[in-house]
Chain A
Amino acid sequence: AQTVTQSQPEMSVQEAETVTLSCTYDTSENNYYLFWYKQPPSRQMILVIRQEAYKQQNATENRFSVNFQKAAKSFSLKISDSQLGDTAMYFCAFMKVGGGADGLTFGKGTHLIIQP
């Protein structure tokens, strides 16, 4: 079984700052995906970024990037030039390749607050 740990229940930064959210996971699988999802106060869960474990290059999506350290089983999310709209719960999630019909394993989330 996999576990995903997010050690920061809540974080608060000023607008325009850079913030990094931490995620570690434990698995015996070698091929898997990692995801960051964002859940704003409106409650719709939105995909932020996805990383395939076999790729050494870190995924990026505009202001969002990850630092994927496979050996350390670490998958942090960096948000650059943070905006008020980035205020949300952020969830780190794991899924093994070929487990597409299985569910995601989620961390408990980090509540990120962007202060004006």
Chain B
Amino acid sequence: DVKVTQSSRYLVKRTGEKVFLECVQDMDHENMFWYRQDPGLGLRLIYFSYDVKMKEKGDIPEGYSVSREKKERFSLILESASTNQTSMYLCASSTTGGAGTDTQYFGPGTRLTVL
């Protein structure tokens, strides 16, 4: 089974802090994604990566950056956290070959609160 893990289930930070959210997958997937989930808005794509050191902006990249130095790890960075970034953050991964191509598998999520 695919396993996607995220470093924290709950996180509380102060406005202006630099925040790192970490995601690790164990299936050698090429593609990794960061979404944020807000009530009534569903899931919205922040950034995605299709290879090491490669990244592409999603629908709502403002205020975020990402890093992918190793294939299994994809980090989401909030350079200066703001209260409007309080949200649930979900990481996902997928492969573009073999069984289950293009199906995204999700981590458990990180509930971030910015005070």
Give the interface of A toward B (CB within 8 A): 33, 35, 37, 42-47, 50, 91, 95, 97, 99-104, 106-109
In the complex the two chains form, is B109's CB within 8 Å of A43's CB? yes
Q: Is B74 an interface residue (CB 8 A)?
A: no
Q: Is B115 an interface residue (CB 8 A)?
A: no
Distance (whole angstroms) from the CB of A61 to the closest CB of chain B: 13
Given contacts A47-B103, A91-B42, A107-B42, A102 and B90 within 8 Å (CB-CB): no
Given contacts A43-B109, A101-B31, A106 and B101 within 8 Å (CB-CB): no
In the complex the two chains form, is B41's CB within 8 Å of A101's CB? no
In the complex the two chains form, is A45's CB within 8 Å of B101's CB? no
List 13 interface pairs A-B (beta carbons < 8 Å), by A numbering.
A43-B109, A44-B106, A44-B107, A47-B104, A47-B105, A95-B102, A100-B96, A100-B101, A101-B30, A101-B48, A102-B56, A104-B43, A104-B45
In the complex the two chains form, is A100's CB within 8 Å of B102's CB? yes
Distance (whole angstroms) from the CB of A64 to the closest CB of chain B: 15
**Bound complex: CA A106 to CA B41 (Å):** 9
Give the one of A45, A107, A108, A109 with max B CB within 10 A: A45
Q: Is B50 an interface residue (CB 8 A)?
A: yes
**Bound complex: CA A98 to CA B32 (Å):** 15
In the complex the two chains form, is A45's CB within 8 Å of B90's CB? yes
Given contacts A45-B90, A50-B103, A101 and B50 within 8 Å (CB-CB): yes
**Bound complex: CA A20 to CA B105 (Å):** 24
